[in-house]
Amino acid sequence: EPEVTQTPSHQVTQMGQEVILRCVPISNHLYFYWYRQILGQKVEFLVSFYNNEISEKSEIFDDQFSVERPDGSNFTLKIRSTKLEDSAMYFCASSEGSGGGETQYFGPGTRLLVL
Amino acid sequence: GESVGLHLPTLSVQEGDNSIINCAYSNSASDYFIWYKQESGKGPQFIIDIRSNMDKRQGQRVTVLLNKTVKHLSLQIAATQPGDSAVYFCAESQYGNKLVFGAGTILRVKS
DSSP A54-100: EEEE-TT--TTEEEE--SSS-EEEEESS--GGG-EEEEEEEES--SS
In tens, the pLDDT along B26-77 reads 899 999 999 999 998 889 999 999 999 999 999 999 999 999 999 999 999 9
Determine the distance in angstroms separating the CA of B79 from the nearest CA of chain A, rounded to an integer: 25
CB pairs under 8 A between A and B: 71
Q: Does residue A44 sit at the B interface (CB-CB below 8 Å)?
A: yes
Q: Is the pLDDT of residue B4 over 50?
A: no
The pLDDT value given to residue A40? 84
Contact (Cβ atoms closer than 8 angstroms) between residue A110 and residue A35: no
The pLDDT value given to residue B95? 74
Q: Is the pLDDT of residue B96 over 70?
A: no
Mean pLDDT score, B11-36: 95
Q: Is the pLDDT of residue B23 over 80?
A: yes
The pLDDT value given to residue A99? 63
Domain over B17-110 is classified CATH 2.60.40.10: yes
Is the C-alpha dihedral spanning B94, A46, A70, A113 positive or negative?
Answer: negative
In tens, the pLDDT along A47-79 reads 999 999 999 999 999 999 999 998 888 999 999
Domain spans in chain A, listed from the N-terminal domain onward: 5-98+105-114
Residues of A in contact with B89 (CB under 8 A): 42-43
Chosen from B6, B35, B99, B105 to mutate, greatest number of chain A CBs within 10 A: B99
Residues of B in contact with A48 (CB under 8 A): 97-98
Q: Is the pLDDT of residue B3 over 50?
A: no
Judged by CB atoms closer than 8 Å, whether chains meet at A101 and B32 is answered as: yes
Q: Does residue A58 sit at the B interface (CB-CB below 8 Å)?
A: yes
Q: Is the pLDDT of residue B92 over 60?
A: yes
Chosen from A104, A111, A112 to mutate, greatest number of chain B CBs within 10 A: A104
Residues of B in contact with A56 (CB under 8 A): 97-98
How many Cβ atoms from other residues are within 10 Å of residue B109's Cβ?
20
Q: What is the dihedral of CA A64, A57, B103, B83, to 10 degrees?
A: -90
Closest CA to A114 of A85, A93, A91, A76: A85
- Each residue of A77-104: b (16+ CB within 10 Å) or e? bebeebeeebbbbbbbbbbeebeebbbb
Which residues in chain A show pLDDT less than 50? none
Superfamily of A5-98+105-114 according to CATH: Immunoglobulins (2.60.40.10)
